[in-house]
Amino acid sequence: MKLRVPLSRYLVFFAIALGACAADLLTKRLAFERLGPPGGETWWLWENLFGFQTSLNRGALFGMAQGLWPVFSVLSFAAAVGIVVWLFWFRAARDWLLTVALGLITAGILGNLYDRLALHGFRWHDGAPAHAVRDFIVMCQVGEWHWPNYNLADASLVCGAALLICQAFFTKPATTALESRAES
């Protein structure tokens, strides 16, 4: 007998996924309104260590595979659907840490998918929709080099991945009372 997923897991997952996605989209909008178009001046909070500058990423991780937004959009949509199916259809959401980790990952997927579909309304100079992820956080500038700009969706993806690693390597699989009785 498969145990049901508690209602609290649904609430936690969707609150994290939708809340962090909303925070990502809000901060992107505010950054682009306040800092202007991509490539402008960097506004440093801590000189050469942490600041803000708008940029657009037409690729994936670290700008790889520029211009393949249709592929990344399909993969993002499939990943988001796969996560929800795995958590709630296959009941993986019974694991608390896994639910939180995948909520963060889903938030990152949705925030960047919104941008890749050009739902933000930003356009290139020629008037074409900018199917690109909006980034605005910059770190560690040394001369002309700096860590690639990122956004809250990217941070959410990284935090979710770190939690997945912790869940995979540092937690024991949860056994339920029914599973324990069946083993003995």
Domain extent at residue 42: 8-172
CB proximity list for 28: less than 8 A, separation 6 or greater: 111, 115, 120, 134, 136, 151, 152
Measured between alpha carbons, how far is 57 from 79 in angstroms, rounded to an integer? 20
pLDDT at 179 over 60: no
Note if 154 is an active site residue: yes
pLDDT at 17: 98
Q: 129 in a domain, yes or no?
A: yes
The better pLDDT of the pair 181, 42 is held by 42
Q: 3 in a domain, yes or no?
A: no
Note if 135 is an active site residue: yes
Of the residues 24, 95, 115, 154, only one is catalytic, namely: 154
Q: 184 in a domain, yes or no?
A: no
Q: 28 in a domain, yes or no?
A: yes
Name the pairing type of β-strands 50-57 and 133-142: antiparallel
Retrieve residue 158's tokens.
């990284």
Q: What is the mean pLDDT of residues 73-102?
A: 96
Q: 88 in a domain, yes or no?
A: yes
The better pLDDT of the pair 177, 125 is held by 125
pTM of the model: 0.87
Q: 79 in a domain, yes or no?
A: yes
Q: 108 in a domain, yes or no?
A: yes
Following DSSP, what letter does each residue of the chain receive, concatenated?
-PPPPPHHHHHHHHHHHHHHHHHHHHHHHHHHHHH-STT---EEEETTTEEEEEEEESSSGGG-STT-HHHHHHHHHHHHHHHHIIIIIS-GGGSHHHHHHHHHHHHHHHHHHHHHTTTT--B-TTS-B--SEEEEEEEEEETTEEEEEE-HHHHHHHHHHHHHHHHHHHSPPP--HHHHHHH-
Worst-scoring range by mean pLDDT, 58-62, 77-81, 148-152, 154-158?
58-62
Q: Give the confidence band of 39 by pLDDT, cuts at 50, 70, 90.
A: confident
Q: Please say whether the beta carbons of 135 and 56 come within 8 A.
A: yes
Q: 180 in a domain, yes or no?
A: no
CB proximity list for 35: less than 8 A, separation 6 or greater: 43, 52, 53, 54, 136
**136 alpha carbon, distance to own chain's centre:** 15
Q: Give the confidence band of 35 by pLDDT, cuts at 50, 70, 90.
A: very high
Number of compact structural domains in the chain: 1
Q: Give the confidence band of 175 by pLDDT, cuts at 50, 70, 90.
A: low
Q: What is the mean pLDDT of residues 151-171?
A: 95
Q: Give the confidence band of 176 by pLDDT, cuts at 50, 70, 90.
A: very low
